[in-house]
Amino acid sequence: MPPPPPRRRGLGDIPIKVVYLAAAIVATVLAVLLIFVVFSGDVPTRQTQGETAVSIVPVPPVTATPTPTAGETPLPAAPESKKFAPLPGKASATKGTVTDKASGISYPRLGGSWSAKSFAPFSVAQRVGKMEAPYTVAASAMLPGDAPAAKPSTDADYRAIAVQAARWTLRTQYPEGATLTAWTASRKVPVGKGWTLAFTVSYPSGGARQVGQAMVTVVEVGKTKPAMLVASIPQGGKAYWRDLNTLADKVRPL
């Protein structure tokens, strides 16, 4: 006589410990999934050891037209031509040439107290003194902001863009309340297409007003947007004012 078939086990025959274990596993998995869904947007980007997170303040772009923003003092009209007379001070010795391949221009590397420093949004920068406005800086970059609708072609086009660059320099390199008081130079670049404007700046400092000197050069570099060289030196650095003449005379497209 064959043995009876084995009796099938039902749910009631599963040990209570096994039931509790399975329930605990399911609950843990669900909790992990819930945490991932809720907090996935808060996961920080990976940061290597020794790295410091730095908040970069956006730099105001050059506006598409010379029209000043609300509350901004309109700039005086730039002369069609004005010689850049030698400024006071003694020109720093040069230490070769800065070749800014990102922007497509070259200009003198200044010696003495000038040193190369990282300085956003510029691709290359030389500075003296503290990292605070008003800055003593000579630096280059592509013209900030959107490219012109059409590539500039005339001297008047480049002069108008240089006026925009001068306004941008006032907003970014000097304290709030700085004004352009006079144009000290307005001329074509030494080589290629472009324009240089130099100007004096009045700015607030310690309850009084001081005077700085600055220059901007925009240079055609084969693109719709020109390259830009900015140099600005406040009153505290007036011993370096003559370096603006050096930069204006030697800036070149690559």
Distance CA 107, CA 250 (A): 6
- Confirm whether 131 is domain-assigned: yes
Question: Model pTM greater than 0.75?
Answer: no
Q: How far apart are CA 239 and CA 95, in angstroms?
A: 18
Most confident of 68-77, 90-99, 123-132, 141-150: 90-99
On whether residue 248 sits in a domain, the answer given is yes
Least Cα distance to 145 among 222, 35, 62 occurs for 62
Q: Is residue 229 part of a domain?
A: yes
Is there a domain that residue 122 lies in?
yes
Instruction: Return the higher-pLDDT residue of 169 and 42.
Output: 169
Q: Which of 59-68, 99-108, 171-180 has the lowest mean pLDDT?
A: 59-68
pLDDT number for residue 7:
54
| 10 located within any domain | no
Phi-psi region of 131 (alpha: psi -120 to 50; beta: other; left: phi over 0): beta
pLDDT tens digits, 145-159: 888 888 999 999 999
Look at 59 and 3; give whichever has higher pLDDT. 3
Residue 202 has phi, psi (to 5 degrees) of -105, 130
Q: In which domain, by residue range, is 207 found?
A: 94-253
Domain membership flag for residue 78: no
Backbone torsion region of residue 237, taken as left when φ is above 0, otherwise alpha when ψ lies between -120 and 50, otherwise beta? alpha
Domains: count for the chain: 1
Residues 121 and 214: beta-carbon distance below 8 Å: no
Structural domain includes residue 221: yes
Q: Can you give the CATH number for the domain in which 168 is found?
A: 3.40.1000.10
Rounded Cα distance between 234 and 212, Å, is 4
Q: Is residue 82 in a domain?
A: no
Burial of 161 (0-12, 13-18, 19+ CB in 10 A): buried
φ, ψ at 250 (rounded to 5°): -115, 0
- Residues 56, 65: Cα–Cα separation, whole Å: 26
The stretch 136-144 carries a mean pLDDT of 96
> How high is the mean pLDDT of the chain?
80
